[in-house]
Structure 1
Amino acid sequence: MTWFDALLVTLWAVLTALGARRGLAGLAWGAAGVAVCFLANSLGAGAPASLILAALLGLGTAVAISRLIPAPLEQPWHLGAGALGGFLLGGLLISAVSLGFPMDVKVDARGARATYPSASLPPALYDAVRNSALQGSLRGVWSGGPALKTLLIPDQTR
């Protein structure tokens, strides 16, 4: 485990706690966040268009959730539902951050091969990302289905 893993796990825990604090609205917040990310990545033509689309969808979703679910904690089980929403959104965020660094393409006798992360990163960051347990567990995304790639690595699906 590297310092990069520690930061990602901390971020994941914070989002899970924020979801739990919001209660049932946290579940809606997390599920809608995942849906907004998927829609923005699949419908956006590039980074600026996706950013604008995500901001508009996120704002609309936030207004809808605040009007439909006004009380954050009506029942004790709402804490667990909210934590699940934060856990989902946090997992998406740390996965996207783990896989969001640049790649190197090396050409040799066997053909072109992509290596992740790029060796051009600063040495401390390169070592932390390359040796990351979380990033290592997400390597299957590169050969995963198109929906998973669209959600986590949209620049690689275009």
Structure 2
Amino acid sequence: MITWFDALLVTAWAVVTALGARRGLAGLVWGLGGVAACFLANLLGRDAIAATTLALLLGAALAFVIRRQLRGAPDRPWHPVAGALGGFTLGGVLVVALTLGFPIGLRIGPEGRTGVYPSTSLPPVLYTAVQGSVLKGSLMNLWQASPALQLLILPDQAHLRR
């Protein structure tokens, strides 16, 4: 069943896609550059503060390059489509990161320790929405994805495995 959490995530994805389309060619660079900046920040940052600082610096550099290089770019009919592609990509990464970014709970039972996602310590309204989320159900296999994708989407879990 689709929950309010799914609706919120799909709306955020649509907004980021529309922002990319509105910016045209700059939206393509913004979306793909944003994903690359997140990946580099997660790769090079050893803790949350370092990764956040690096992401902010990379984002500022990306914004400077976009403003400088794409200021007078002619608008072609395919530019909004390219921008939408960039926004769709960045929005998808955002949605996946938000969907799988909640704390993991620990259940101790007869079979030993097992992880539970999301943690039952979340507020009940949020726990119910995330637990019943269609998006969460379809994205759970990303916990076993390639190390590069895990570094982009689940950086805290990827750093724990190093």
Q: TM-score range by the shorter chain?
A: over 0.9
Q: How does 1:1-158 map to 2 (within 5 A)?
A: 1-71=2-72, 74-158=75-159
Compared CA separation, residues 72 and 121, structure 1 to 2 (3 A): farther
Q: Tell me if structure 2 keeps the 8 A contact 1:104–1:115.
A: yes
Q: In 1, distance between residues paired with 2:84 and 2:74?
A: 12
Flag structure 1 segments of 5+ consecutive residues without an equivalent.
none
Deviations 1:3-43 (A, max 9, x none): 00000000000000000000000000000000000000111
Larger mean CA deviation between 109-118 and 27-36 belongs to: 109-118
Deviations 1:97-136 (A, max 9, x none): 0011001111222222101000011111001000101111
Q: Secondary structure of 2:20's partner?
A: helix
Compared CA separation, residues 107 and 88, structure 1 to 2 (3 A): same
Q: In 1, distance between residues paired with 2:44 and 2:122?
A: 30
Q: Tell me if structure 2 keeps the 8 A contact 1:22–1:72.
A: no
> How far is 1:2 from its partner?
0.3
Give the length in aligned residue pairs: 158
- TM-score norm. by structure 2 comes to 0.94
Q: In 2, distance between residues paired with 1:23 and 1:30?
A: 11
Q: In 1, distance between residues paired with 2:152 and 2:28?
A: 19
Q: In 1, distance between residues paired with 2:62 and 2:152?
A: 18
Runs of 4+ more than 3 Å apart: none
Determine what percentage of the aligned residue pairs are the same residue: 57
> How far is 1:71 from its partner?
4.0
Q: Secondary structure of 2:71's partner?
A: coil
